[in-house]
Chains A and B, each alone.
Chain A
Amino acid sequence: MAQDSGTRTLVSHAQLRRGRGRVIYWALLTVVVVGFTLVFLGPLYWMVTGALKSGQEIAQTPPSLFPKDPQLRNYADAWNNLDLAKLLFNTFYYAAGALLFQLVLDTAAAYALSKLRPAFGNLILGLMLATLMIPAMVLIVPQYVTVIDLPILHLNLLDSPFAIWLPAVANAFNIFLLKRFFDSIPEELMAAALMDGATPLRTLWSIILPMSRPILGVVSIFAVTAVWKDFLWPKLVMPSPETRTVSVGIYAFSGGTPMNVVIAASVIAAIPTVVVFLAFQRNIMSGLTTGSLKG
């Protein structure tokens, strides 16, 4: 039954447990649970089962709630015709690389900004945070021009995974999250490590990182899902069919492919993020609120 330990909200607990309040509470709760299930899960159900229907069945009125003759043909077609295995592997590869680069470089940067505090550290932090103010669409053209001819080095990164991995490191939000967490680690621990002769790298590895598991988890999830969900940037920098991500690949095929097959492919593309979400939903939700509220 209801826990009374929670703080008081808009309507008092006592009111909700007696007579009319109780009836309204349960009625409202039922309506919301049913309504939300329909609104948020309903379309997903429609998507998964729609892709099980035949072309005729999907066009019939009124639509059938359950597929009459469920067949996996659309899913099989999607898998084979769109070469989804390849697309999924590409996306996974980009996401894993982006995660690795961010974990190494952003963690090191946040550690330097929080604990080592070199000269001009605050200026650098300010310049990094300033990028949060620049809308992504404004940068898309000059970023593209930069990637096709990297200044000084004159490299063309088109179709190279580095075109996704390196820009992912320039993520001020994740650096900010990490720095704020490192700030909360007592300075005494740093001093103690220094006194024992630990190098800064050793301190980071043996003291800071083991204490930072929660925030590292949050940053990792953000890093992976950002690459998985991204569309325009991978569409621009991964133009050839062999290097496409799954979202871009489905879009590229959507014109000449039966719609049930496109939907089946969309379902398959969504499975990894949904699984990650269900597995890590606690971390994701706590990360969202710490990152936005106290910041």
Chain B
Amino acid sequence: MAITTVPGTRRKPGRPAAPRPTGPPRTSLGRKVRDNLTGHAFLIGAVICFAFFSWYPMIRGVVMSFQRTRRGVTTWVGWDNYERIIADPSFWTAWKNTFYFTVLALVLGYAVPFFVAILLNEFRHAKGYLRILVYLPVMLPPASALFLFKFYAYDPGDAGLFNSILKALHLPTSQWMQSPEMTMPAMVIASTWMNMGGAVLIYLAALQNIPGELYEAAELDGAGIWRRIRHVTIPQTRLILALLAMLQIVATMQFFIEPLILANGTGAEDSATSVAYLIYQHGFFQNDLNGAAALGVIMLVVLAGFSAAYVRLSAKQD
């Protein structure tokens, strides 16, 4: 590496050799244009992909929801698609199911990983093994994991995995996916088993950032384990807890593959139909892409409402 001053470099004689931390200082206009062009040349591939497959579809979705295509002719129909979608009785069933699933998944899939993480964080042994175990189901293709649940775990006969366990414990067996009451809990159990690993690992990382002195001080003040969790662990991980709650609500409200595979779409007495499944039904089976787009926009508005409420709440707390 030559340390001589090369013509064209931007270091002025007499200036300290250390380059400035931010970008090239003074450059000619032509140089600036050229640098910009180079920068954009590096960006262009990704930008094109975003434009075609994210940004444009976003706009297209909203536009489509106000149009109707019949025999290749597209016309503006105002709110017709929305009215048709809302008039469909399965619309309200699907929302009811979706909220029910989301709440159940929040109770089970949100609290359980937090306490699992607290427990794992205390252990000095078998740490790696337990972490691998918890995350292993996350790596399975969801279709594979759900067929396991469908055929083996939720077999309504006595030979099913869950029913055998219930029977061994002398508890009443269940019809699982064939009973409208059990459909949702069964889907939430499968979904939590498949997905909780990610949340556990994120909580574990957050727990490791809590300064040990806080626990020490709390203990000196006579706080027991539960009070230490309430007054140290939870406040210290509040931000990550709130963020994951938000992400989980958005993710679970889009649940789709669980009803498709476990319940053949709708389940017993429509007990499994989700909004996402309804979008799929309208778009790809009822030949109603415009109605499906309208349903998508409704879903976006509802989820945006959740996000706004979340931002409001978290801003208030700080």
A binds B: yes
Closest Cβ–Cβ distance, residue A26 to chain B (whole Å): 9
A181 at the interface (CB under 8 A from B): no
- Cβ-defined contact, B159 with A134, below 8 A: no
8 tightest CB-CB pairs across the interface, nearest first? Answer: A118-B39, A8-B212, A191-B19, A109-B46, A112-B42, A116-B39, A266-B144, A289-B205
Per-residue CB contact flags for chain A residues 41-68 toward chain B (1 = under 8 Å, else 0) read 1011011001000000011111100000
Give Cα A51 to B206, complex, Å: 40
A259's nearest neighbour on chain B, judged by CB, is B151
Residues of chain A lying within 8 A (CB to CB) of residue B47: 109, 124
Residues of chain B lying within 8 A (CB to CB) of residue A111: 42
- Cβ-defined contact, B279 with A61, below 8 A: no
Give Cα A250 to B148, complex, Å: 12
Which of A8, A128, A146 has a CB less than 8 Å from the CB of B57? A146
A36's nearest neighbour on chain B, judged by CB, is B133
- Supposing A200-B42, A293-B202 touch, asked if A136 and B143 sit within 8 A by C-beta, the answer is no
Give Cα A225 to B137, complex, Å: 13
Stretch of B83-91, B101-109, B176-184, B290-298 on the interface side: B290-298
Which residues in window 1-60 of B have CB below 8 A to A? Answer: 1-2, 6, 9, 11, 18-19, 21-24, 35-40, 42-43, 45-47, 49-50, 52-58, 60
Closest Cβ–Cβ distance, residue B60 to chain A (whole Å): 4
Which residues in window 138-196 of A have CB below 8 A to B? Answer: 138-147, 150-151, 166-167, 169-170, 172, 175, 187-188, 191-192, 194-196
Residues of chain B lying within 8 A (CB to CB) of residue A85: none
Give Cα A2 to B91, complex, Å: 56
How many A residues face the partner with a CB closer than 8 A? 113
- Cβ-defined contact, A3 with B141, below 8 A: no
Residues of chain A lying within 8 A (CB to CB) of residue B139: 225, 273-274, 276-277
Which of B129, B141, B280 has a CB less than 8 Å from the CB of A270? B141
Q: 13 pairs across A/B with beta carbons < 8 Å?
A: A8-B212, A10-B233, A12-B216, A43-B148, A105-B49, A121-B43, A138-B61, A142-B58, A170-B50, A172-B50, A229-B141, A248-B143, A266-B145
A282's nearest neighbour on chain B, judged by CB, is B128
- Cβ-defined contact, B57 with A143, below 8 A: yes
Per-residue CB contact flags for chain B residues 129-147 toward chain A (1 = under 8 Å, else 0) read 1111111110111111101
Which of A40, A134, A197, A250 has a CB less than 8 Å from the CB of B147? A250
B49's nearest neighbour on chain A, judged by CB, is A169
Main secondary structure of the interface of A (DSSP, over half): helix
- Cβ-defined contact, A232 with B257, below 8 A: yes
Give Cα A107 to B242, complex, Å: 31
Residues of chain B lying within 8 A (CB to CB) of residue A136: 254
- On A, residues with C-beta under 8 Å from B are 2-3, 6-13, 16, 25, 28-29, 32-33, 36-37, 39-41, 43-44, 46-47, 50, 58-63, 104-106, 108-109, 111-113, 116-119, 121, 124, 127-128, 131, 133-147, 150-151, 166-167, 169-170, 172, 175, 187-188, 191-192, 194-197, 200, 204, 225, 228-229, 231-232, 236, 246-248, 250-251, 254, 259, 262-263, 266-267, 269-270, 273-274, 276-278, 281, 284-285, 288-289, 292-293
- Cβ-defined contact, A269 with B144, below 8 A: yes
- Cβ-defined contact, A135 with B299, below 8 A: yes
